[in-house]
Amino acid sequence: MENKGYIHLYTGNGKGKTTASLGLALRAVGAGKKVYIAQFAKGMLYAELNAIERIPEIEIHQFGLDCFIVNEPKIEDVEIARKGLEQVAKTLEKNIHQLIILDEVCIALHYKLFTINELKEVLAKKSPKTELVLTGRYAPQELIDMADLVTEMKEIKHYYSKGVNARKGIEF
C-alpha cells in the first residue's frame, strides 16, 4: 500500500486549500518526488509562483486569465481551462510526476469550464502510484465519492469581514 497513489480533495468555504496543497508539494520535493501543479481559473501573479520557479522539481502552469469569480466566465476562460485539462491528461500519461495537483479544479467545474465527466476521463489516466490532489470550493459529490481523503476547510472567522483586503504573500 505504500506505493499506492491516493486522491486527496481539499474543499470548503474556508481559507487554506491551495496552501495545503502547496505544503504537500514542498513535502513531496523534500522526499525526492517530482510535482506537477495545474492552477485552474488562476492567471494572476501569485507569490507562490516566485517561490516555485526556484524549485526545479515542481512544474506549475496556470490555466486561467484574470479572476472572473465575481463575473461570469468568458469563452476565453473556458478555452484556457480546457487547454489545461488537455495538458493534465498528457502529463498523467507521461507518468513522470509522483504528485499532481489540480488547484481550483472544483471552481472550474462549478463555473462549467468543463464537465465532471471530462475531468473523470482525464483522471482515469492516473497511474496507480501517482498521488493526486484536487482543490476548490463547491466540490461535487462525485469527486467526494471518488477521493480517498477529503478535507473541508470551514470558515469560522475571517478578517475579510472586517474589511481586510488580500495581502501579498498571505492570500496571493
156: domain CATH number? 3.40.50.300
User: Is the residue at 169 inside a domain?
Assistant: no
- The rounded mean pLDDT for the chain is 93
User: Is the residue at 6 inside a domain?
Assistant: no
Tell me the chain's radius of gyration from C-alpha atoms. 15
User: Is the residue at 31 inside a domain?
Assistant: yes
Q: pTM value?
A: 0.92
The tens digit of pLDDT for each residue in 87-110 reads 999 999 999 999 999 999 999 999
Considering only CA atoms, which of 156, 168, 169 is closest in space to residue 13? Answer: 156
**More confident position, 40 or 70:** 40
**pLDDT over 80 at 66, yes or no:** no
User: Is the residue at 170 inside a domain?
Assistant: no
CB-count exposure of residue 33 (10 Å: 0-12, 13-18, 19+): middle
Cβ(156)–Cβ(16) below 8 Å = no
pLDDT band at 42 (very low <50, low <70, confident <90, very high): confident
Number of structural domains in the chain: 1
User: Is the residue at 5 inside a domain?
Assistant: no
User: Is the residue at 1 inside a domain?
Assistant: no
Bridge partners (DSSP) of residue 82 are none
**pLDDT over 70 at 24, yes or no:** yes
User: Is the residue at 168 inside a domain?
Assistant: no
pLDDT score, position 70: 67
User: Is the residue at 64 inside a domain?
Assistant: yes
DSSP 149: E
- Residue 15 domain boundaries: 11-162
